[in-house]
């Protein structure tokens, strides 16, 4: 069984991310059940004040190889991909792209059973699992980062940033997920939901929604706020990663194929979805985006981010505040690539074993970030924005 919240408090309060990664993965192979829509929200504990903290790791900014849209030569930049995709809400009765976030629905996908969240709060209709971030207790540790606060639901990944849940800013309730990161290239903070190889963490075809507050975005280079990832069929090393974020100042959907990163002891290093440095970036076999020409992400306000990913159909769709963003609709390929070509297929993994809520800034123009995530849910139909 998954450890209770009280048992989770007995885990180490700081320490080796490999140990914490193992604890999380072990916990997530427990009961494969959906969320409980009727569960009462737990009592709250106040926390944190948004003070920035650094992981202590460092990378060289000077030799950073460009990701898609970071400058340099992108093969096929500006080419439009073929548009054979139908948005999943187009055929759904009563669904509009109104921004009120009301009763959005869409065609159901094959749900199956997925690891539940411990005390994740009451889930909205159509959700397989959810997290309102109210159940965690932020306990600052002088001179250290507490990277066990979110266990067993999430692993916390820090690279020049600090991910935690606190009461600095919330969309609903008292708390939200809070990431602050330094400015500069390769600055990451993430909550990682990961299962062992072959055990799905999220359906290959799914819908999701989360409220997001970003104080700024990178004006020229690529950045990411959401990723799902899994091993390619027949491989034990090659990962396919799908993401949503931005590029060149506009919204972007992204796809990459990279080998896993090994740790010093021969294990698997904890990572979010993107490369942590220029050397890891250079390992990409495919690194492509579908970049919008006019659609942008709103900053300094809460935005309702909804997505649909159907990896087997090679399709991705995005809504912001209930409004479709068709310029980043994906139908099998992107518009520009730092590795591969725009006609390279976005091949599906066998299963998705990782989901990240993250701020990943790859370029030197990545801002000092204060980002917040709240009311997260994944479902088998479009969930809609919270009231």
In this prediction, residue 27 carries a pLDDT of: 45
Tell me the domains of the chain and their CATH numbers: 12-36+107-229+270-278+295-321+347-379 (2.60.120)
Q: Which of 318, 327, 316 lies closest to 291 in space, CA to CA?
A: 327
- The conformation of residue 240, written as its DSSP 8-state character, comes to E
d(CA 26, CA 118) in angstroms, rounded, equals: 14
- Confidence band, pLDDT 50/70/90 cuts, at residue 144: low
More confident residue, 220 or 322: 322
Maximum Cα–Cα distance for the chain, whole Å?
Answer: 54
d(CA 44, CA 321) in angstroms, rounded, equals: 28
More confident residue, 28 or 353: 353
- Confidence band, pLDDT 50/70/90 cuts, at residue 142: low
Q: What percent of the chain has pLDDT over 90?
A: 46
More confident residue, 21 or 55: 21
Q: Which of 150, 217, 153, 154 lies closest to 181 in space, CA to CA?
A: 217
Distances (CA, A) of 165 to 47, 133, 162: 8, 6, 10
Left if phi > 0, otherwise alpha if psi is -120 to 50, otherwise beta: which for 168?
alpha
306 with 383: CB under 8 angstroms? yes
Q: Which of 375, 116, 356 lies closest to 241 in space, CA to CA?
A: 356
- Confidence band, pLDDT 50/70/90 cuts, at residue 87: low
> Is the model's pLDDT at 242 over the cut of 50?
yes
> Is the model's pLDDT at 326 over the cut of 60?
yes
Tokens of 185: 């290239």
């Amino acid at each position: 069984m998954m450890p209770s919240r009280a048992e989770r408090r007995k885990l180490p309060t700081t320490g080796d991310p490999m140990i914490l990664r193992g604890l999380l993965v072990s916990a997530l192979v427990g009961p494969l059940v959906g969320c409980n829509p009727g569960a009462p929200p737990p009592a709250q504990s106040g926390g944190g004040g948004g003070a920035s903290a650094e992981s202590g790791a460092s990378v060289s900014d000077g030799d950073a190889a460009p990701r898609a849209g970071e400058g340099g030569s992108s093969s096929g930049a500006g080419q439009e991909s073929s548009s054979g995709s139908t948005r999943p809400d187009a055929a759904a009765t009563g669904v509009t792209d109104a921004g009120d976030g009301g009763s959005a629905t869409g065609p159901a996908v094959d749900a199956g059973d997925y690891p539940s969240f411990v005390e994740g709060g009451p889930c909205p209709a159509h959700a397989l699992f959810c997290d309102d971030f109210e159940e965690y207790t932020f306990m600052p540790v002088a001179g250290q980062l507490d990277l066990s606060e979110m266990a067993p639901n999430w692993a916390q990944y820090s690279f020049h940033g600090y991910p935690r849940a606190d009461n600095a800013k919330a969309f609903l309730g008292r708390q939200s997920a809070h990431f602050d990161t330094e400015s500069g290239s390769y600055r990451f903070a993430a909550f990682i939901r990961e299962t062992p190889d072959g055990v799905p963490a999220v359906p290959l075809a799914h819908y999701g929604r989360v409220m997001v507050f970003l104080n700024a975005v990178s004006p020229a280079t690529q950045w990411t706020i959401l990723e799902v990832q899994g091993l390619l069929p027949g491989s034990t090393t090659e990962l396919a990663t799908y993401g949503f974020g931005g590029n060149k100042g506009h919204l972007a959907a992204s796809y990459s194929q990279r080998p896993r990163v090994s740790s010093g002891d021969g294990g698997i290093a904890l990572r979010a979805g993107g490369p942590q440095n220029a050397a890891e970036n250079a390992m990409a076999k495919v690194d492509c985006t579908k970049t919008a020409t006019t659609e942008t992400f709103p900053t300094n306000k809460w935005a309702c981010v909804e997505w649909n990913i159907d990896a087997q159909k090679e399709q991705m769709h995005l809504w912001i505040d209930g409004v479709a963003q068709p310029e980043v609709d994906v139908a099998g390929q992107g518009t520009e690539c730092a590795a591969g070509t725009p006609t390279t297929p976005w091949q599906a993994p066998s299963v998705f074993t990782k989901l990240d809520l993250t701020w990943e800034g790859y370029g030197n123009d990545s801002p000092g970030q204060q980002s917040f995530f709240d009311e997260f849910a994944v479902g088998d139909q479009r969930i809609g924005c919270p009231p």
